[in-house]
Amino acid sequence: MSVTLRKKTLSTGRSSLYLDFYPAIRNPDTGVFTRREFLKLYLLDKPKTDLEKETNRKTFLLAQHVCAQRQIEVQNHRFGFLAESRKDGNFIDYFRKTAARKSGTNAYGWKMAWKYLESYAGSGLRFRDLSEEFCEEFRDYMLSGPGIGRYGRSIGWNTAGSYFAKFRTMLKAAHKAKLLDEDLYDIISAIDEHESIREFLILEEFRALVEAPLGDSVMRNASIFAVLTGLRFCDIKALKWEQVRGFKGNHYIQFKQEKTESPETLPISDEAVELLGQRSMLGDRVFYDLKYSRMKPFLTLWLEKAGVHKSNFTFHCLRHSYATLQLALGTDVFTLMKMLGHRSIKSTMRYLHLLDTLKKATTEKIKMSDILSLVKAS
């Protein structure tokens, strides 16, 4: 078996140096036979200055050294050098293609994980660019709470941890495929999950909130609707009349979740439908002029008027309230998982620990008829 240094004349006035293997050798990763390895070393065809001539001489010496090294490797049947060129491959594309194959529960999380990496490192990140230092800096970036989603909201600690875990999984896969020399998965620490504080309303607090007078009926009704349905703010804001269907006693909405982009059919009560007001054109939004930036101060003032004390109550806490009230009042966790649009029971199970703060079990269902009659009269 021989290795010969050759050159190929290019149209740019340079020659590319490459190695010619005879007989052809098999790539250990792809199984494809090859006779060439291009060294990415070039000679000027017509050097003019002493500097150009000296550069040619040193480049040719380097190519001869590589040729001699390859001769030893092929004689000992070591062909790992053929995989080296793959390390110039695009890690972002590798990540993106893996994310695209995901479906169901984690599809959205995988998509956002590679988008955050691309936002940080750009679209040209190569396998050989990955190092312990790079991974640590990316970890710090994720913990800074960047926001690249549709609404530009900063991600929380646990969300950052979830996305970073997927990045580490890709590092492990790349090392196993011999695209990374180091097992960066083991070197780089994960972002440990924090037990987050989820504020929510118990039934008495919800009753006090409904009874408390406040001027803005759109934000008020949207908030009560969130507790009765468990919908996220983005889904309530995007809700159109054409998605509200059914008849008395059997109302439902058909929509696509903004977060997961999955289609859902959600049964809703007659009382929830009454909060929507007078039906308008099919393409019109149900809750017009609803702005997220106005919700936090509105809820803070509303809670204050109702005498309900919460430290950091956001619109999403209304979804938490729906979940904990349903569980406390007897709804089983699997049914709740479907109602919330979760793809994994693990996401729903997180609400169970909140029930410990209620201190006692309750056997009644949520009864809104007497409460919402106050809303209609106002």
Euclidean distance between CA atoms 35 and 20, whole angstroms: 5
**Res 192: pLDDT:** 85
What is the mean pLDDT for each group of 10 consecutive residues in the chain (378 residues)?
90 90 75 80 93 95 91 72 68 94 79 94 90 89 84 84 95 88 89 77 91 82 93 89 91 79 84 88 87 87 92 88 89 89 78 63 52 56
**Res 277: pLDDT:** 86
Euclidean distance between CA atoms 110 and 164, whole angstroms: 10
**Res 303: pLDDT:** 93
Euclidean distance between CA atoms 171 and 192, whole angstroms: 18
**Res 364: pLDDT:** 47
Identify the three-state secondary structure at position 19: strand
CATH architecture of 89-187: Orthogonal Bundle (1.10)
Check whether domain 203-377 has CATH 1.10.443.10, yes or no:
yes
Domain boundaries, the chain: 2-87, 89-187, 203-377
Euclidean distance between CA atoms 348 and 162, whole angstroms: 16
Identify the three-state secondary structure at position 110: helix
pTM (global) more than 0.75: no
Burial 254-283 (b: 16+ CB within 10 A, else e): ebebbebeeebebebbebbbebbeeeeeee
